[in-house]
Structure 1
């Protein structure tokens, strides 16, 4: 049975949980602790990941490497990996546009096999079951299907073309995340005129309306540091397809107002709306 050694770059909230699922069918899951925060160290320990001292050691020992990092860091990270001439399967699973994914593939493919990946859903903890969409060479995507078989991470192969999984991820994010931004603006405007409760009451009479979930605004604010760059990636993808990117760029600018709310689990709805109203 194929039980590869897996490396995760880097164990954020999504990366650590995905890596923990991979551990079910891997011989070991490694992460590089050098230069990482205390929070990352604690998170990796909680999910049972094995620390190594250097990126070089992680790459030398890993058969499969999964990259899950903030979008802005994806290419620099891939460049570091390419410098070590990694020879295994490299899963580019970040929320970046298809053109960037293809650039990363060209950077790594002289030695590595690159698979395009996109995670849709929440981290696989507490009963959540996200889907890892994959595109790339059949043998490599098959290895990843086996790696996550029987775990909380579902997999679905879209095809052999690098960029397909990234495009699907950003297509979904363009609706889901921008909708959350619009909710914050709608409720913030209503609150400024004292009619926010009435707005939420109207929305609650409709089915599947994000406006009926104002409590999610604080969660949106806490995730804005990740969502903003992702919206810029969506805007680039829209522009490349000949579609207008301005709404998504505006969403990224709106999210930037929450720059001080990064990962703040104690943030209240009132605090989030107050921050949104400050230039």
Structure 2
């Protein structure tokens, strides 16, 4: 179990971040979060998780032994820039967002006097007995310390080696399949529904084990998460392009998700989600909670 004297600064308490914070509290780790600029939803999640608030980022950076960055992918580098401006150095920074290896290395360059470890979360938020895996790569001692933080928790860790970017490459490789498949399933169901054959489509898909087409209840969930899934697929597209592979599919999936920009964390029915998908929307920039 992690030492009681360790203090972790959480950036920021979204659904995943708050769940990770609660897991750290179970390990007798003190968890701080910064209220400045955060939404009512963020405050509610932080309070429900039992996290300790501070008023500004400067206080958080000064008091934390470890910073854990779990924020919307599009904000990851900006968050690191703000942390760097507050003078964070000599301590551990876990960059656990779904971003390209190149952007992880950019974060490391912004914090040259800190130990920056590349992290990637796969799985649902660790609540209600669910488990997620935190893949790690980079500095050996930094990875070991991150692993110790979550010992005996519902966050399982696996170290992939010393190369910063390896964990993020794995995450985006998985996301490029998992999230794009959800988008394709939603489009297929939508066009079948428009043609009055949605039930028949689900019946066909049910004959093939493990098809996302049978999980129609996930369509509204995909819609409500589109604001953060889109930037993640943009990074997946960038990684494909860096590898000399076609990025068209990921870019197209991200454009589809932008049609759900008004559905951010809303409770929708399948019909409502499909209706939003079929209507043209001006793109609304996704911001963090």
State TM-score, norm by structure 2: 0.94
Partner residue, 1:182 = 184
Q: Does 1:101 align with 2:104?
A: yes
- After superposition, residues 256-267 of structure 1 pair within 5 angstroms as 256-264=258-266, 266-267=267-268
Partner residue, 2:63 = 61
Q: In the aligned structure 2, how far is the partner of 1:84 from the partner of 1:193?
A: 56
Range 84-93 or range 218-227, more displaced? 84-93
- After superposition, residues 92-241 of structure 1 pair within 5 angstroms as 92-109=95-112, 111-241=113-243
Cα deviation, 1:61-103, whole Å, max 9, x if unaligned, reads 1111000111111111100111122121001111111100011
Partner residue, 2:270 = 269
Q: In the aligned structure 2, how far is the partner of 1:99 from the partner of 1:35?
A: 27
Which of residues 30, 33, 39 is equivalent to 1:31?
33
Contact kept, 8 Å, 1:6 with 1:26, in 2: the verdict is no
1:2 deviates by 3.4
- What SS does structure 2 have at the residue aligned with 1:273? helix
Q: In the aligned structure 2, how far is the partner of 1:231 from the partner of 1:33?
A: 29
Q: In the aligned structure 2, how far is the partner of 1:119 from the partner of 1:40?
A: 20
Partner residue, 2:283 = none
Q: In the aligned structure 2, how far is the partner of 1:99 from the partner of 1:26?
A: 34
Please give the root-mean-square deviation of Cα atoms over the aligned residues, in Å. Answer: 0.9
1:34 deviates by 1.3
1:24 deviates by 2.3
- What SS does structure 2 have at the residue aligned with 1:159? coil
How many residues are treated as equivalent by the alignment?
A: 277
Partner residue, 2:249 = 247
Cα deviation, 1:212-264, whole Å, max 9, x if unaligned, reads 11111010000000100100000000000000101000000000000110001
Q: In the aligned structure 2, how far is the partner of 1:238 from the partner of 1:225?
A: 21
Q: In the aligned structure 2, how far is the partner of 1:138 from the partner of 1:83?
A: 26
Q: In the aligned structure 2, how far is the partner of 1:34 from the partner of 1:2?
A: 28
Contact kept, 8 Å, 2:3 with 2:29, in 1: the verdict is no
Listed as ranges, the gaps of 5+ residues in structure 2 are 281-289
1:26 deviates by 4.2
Q: In the aligned structure 1, how far is the partner of 2:194 from the partner of 2:38?
A: 41
Which of residues 90, 93, 118 is equivalent to 1:90?
93
Cα deviation, 1:106-146, whole Å, max 9, x if unaligned, reads 1102x210000000001001121010000011111111111
Q: In the aligned structure 1, how far is the partner of 2:123 from the partner of 2:138?
A: 21
Q: Which runs of 4+ in 1 moved over 6 A?
A: none
